[in-house]
């Protein structure tokens, strides 16, 4: 999901849709007659959307599924270019900086493409040792991206050359969180790591539980780091030292990254089974929770609202008021579901 200028852009498998961020009303959808499945949306505000899908290439018995990346005009009316050289699926959105789209693929490569033409920016894609399911974090002229090969890489944005790598004891799938001169990332070894941005050196690591993977990106309020493992245990640690401050067991798996409300006071957590939670960042107490059907696939905090997308649920996209958890709208609205049935 992505939001800008009052429009929420979301992929819901069959379509890429533009919704009114205040009401949930559909403004347009691509393609009009359906397609996909579509997985991710990366936004270049005011200019283009970069969308990914899984399609079959070739013909007949020898056709193979392949990830396809397209640049779509901001109004959804025109495909600006296509990139079909990746061999696997795109699991996570890309990131844009300096007219370059950087995105990872399940074929183990990191690709850098010109946002205007789709032409490769680097002489060769950057090859990792396993699938890349992480969104890149781009800071200045450096790309930080994790791989299932247990490494977090720092790459030169202009050339794709490796600057350093940090190796954990488990795979990493969430993008790192940046705070000050450090990066924070969780891994499938059940540890949360604090790493120096400059050279990838380890500052500290905290073991949560080696049996429970840390999947999503941590969140921060500037002093504390918040992370959750896939068993639904949320942890708060001191950003400087890694000392644990509190834990809260939600008894529901968590894979989506956590978010802090812009004004503070609410830590948003998306449960894998369908419940959206708001916790008190000081204590971990549950301030409100909103259960519903359908796995939560993504979450986006914008202003005083939080948006979630679901799969296998009646509501594909929902908007909630952060202060009290009030449901503001659902897409498609219930009457649409009834009329279609």
3-state secondary structure of 219: strand
Residue 283 domain-assigned?
yes
Residue 116 lies in a domain: no
Which residues does residue 308 pair with via DSSP β-bridges, in sequence order? 299, 318
Distance between CA 141 and CA 24 in Å, rounded? 36
- Residue 156 near residue 142 (C-beta atoms within 8 A): yes
The CATH number of residue 177's host domain is 2.40.128.630
- Domain for residue 105, yes or no? no
Q: Look at the block and give the residue holding tokens 């790493």.
A: 195
* Cβ atoms 102, 112 nearer than 8 A: yes
β-bridge mates for residue 177, sequence order: 184
Q: Is residue 46 part of a domain?
A: no
What distances in angstroms separate CA 177 from CA 20, 91, 185, 283, one per listed residue?
Answer: 29, 19, 6, 22
Please choose, from the candidates 153, 147, 112, the residue with its C-alpha nearest in 3D space to the C-alpha of residue 133. 147
Mean pLDDT, consecutive 10-residue stretches, the chain (341 aa), reads 97 93 97 89 97 77 78 97 95 97 98 98 98 98 98 98 97 96 97 98 91 93 96 97 97 95 95 96 98 93 96 90 97 65 37
CA distance 57 to 141: 35
pLDDT at 340: 43
Asked whether residue 47 is assigned to any structural domain, the reply reads: no
pLDDT value, residue 52: 97
Structurally, the chain folds into a number of domains equal to: 1
Domain range for residue 225?
168-291
272 in a structural domain = yes
Q: How far apart are the first and last CA of the chain?
A: 27
Does residue 307 fall inside a structural domain? no
The whole-angstrom separation of Cα 218 and Cα 259 is: 8
Closest CA to 328 of 95, 15, 25, 14: 25
Tokens of 273: 């089974």
- Tell me how far apart the alpha carbons of residues 5 and 47 are, in angstroms, rounded to a whole number: 12
| Residue reference for tokens 């040792």 | 129
Rg value, the chain, Cα: 20
> Quick one: pLDDT at residue 36?
80
Q: Distance between CA 195 and CA 335 in Å, rounded?
A: 50
Q: Is 95 among the domain residues?
A: no
Residue pair 120/53 in contact by the 8 Å Cβ criterion: no
Q: What is the pLDDT of residue 34?
A: 83
């Amino acid at each position: 999901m992505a939001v800008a200028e009052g429009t929420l852009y979301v992929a819901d498998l069959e379509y890429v849709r533009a919704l009114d961020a205040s009401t949930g009303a559909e403004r347009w959808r691509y393609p009009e007659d359906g397609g996909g499945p579509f997985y991710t949306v990366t936004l270049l505000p005011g200019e283009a959307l970069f969308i990914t899908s899984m399609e079959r290439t070739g013909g007949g018995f020898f056709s193979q599924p392949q990830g396809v990346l397209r640049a779509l005009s901001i109004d959804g009316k025109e495909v600006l270019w296509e990139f079909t050289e990746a061999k696997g699926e795109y699991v996570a959105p890309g990131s844009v900086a300096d007219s370059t789209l950087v995105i990872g693929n399940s074929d183990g490569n990191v690709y850098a493409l010109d946002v205007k033409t789709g032409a490769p920016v680097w002489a060769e894609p950057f090859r990792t040792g396993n699938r890349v399911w992480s969104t890149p974090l781009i800071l200045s002229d450096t790309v930080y991206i994790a791989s299932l090969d247990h490494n977090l890489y720092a790459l030169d944005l202009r050339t794709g050359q490796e600057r350093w790598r940090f190796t954990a004891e488990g795979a990493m799938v969430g993008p790192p969180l940046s705070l000050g001169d450090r990066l924070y990332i969780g891994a499938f070894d059940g540890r949360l790591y604090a790493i120096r941005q400059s050279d990838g050196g380890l500052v500290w690591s905290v073991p949560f539980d080696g049996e429970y993977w840390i999947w999503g990106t941590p969140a921060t309020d500037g002093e504390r780091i918040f992370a959750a493992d896939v068993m639904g245990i949320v942890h708060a640690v001191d950003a400087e030292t890694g000392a644990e401050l509190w834990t809260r067991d939600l008894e529901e798996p968590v894979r989506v990254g956590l978010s802090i409300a812009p004004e503070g006071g609410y830590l948003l957590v998306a449960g894998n089974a369908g419940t959206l939670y708001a916790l008190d960042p000081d204590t971990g107490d549950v301030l409100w929770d909103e259960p519903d059907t359908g796995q939560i696939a993504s979450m986006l905090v914008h202003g005083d609202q939080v948006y979630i997308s679901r799969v296998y649920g009646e509501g594909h996209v929902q908007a909630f008021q952060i202060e009290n958890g009030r449901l503001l709208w659902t897409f498609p609205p219930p009457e649409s579901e009834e009329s279609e049935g």
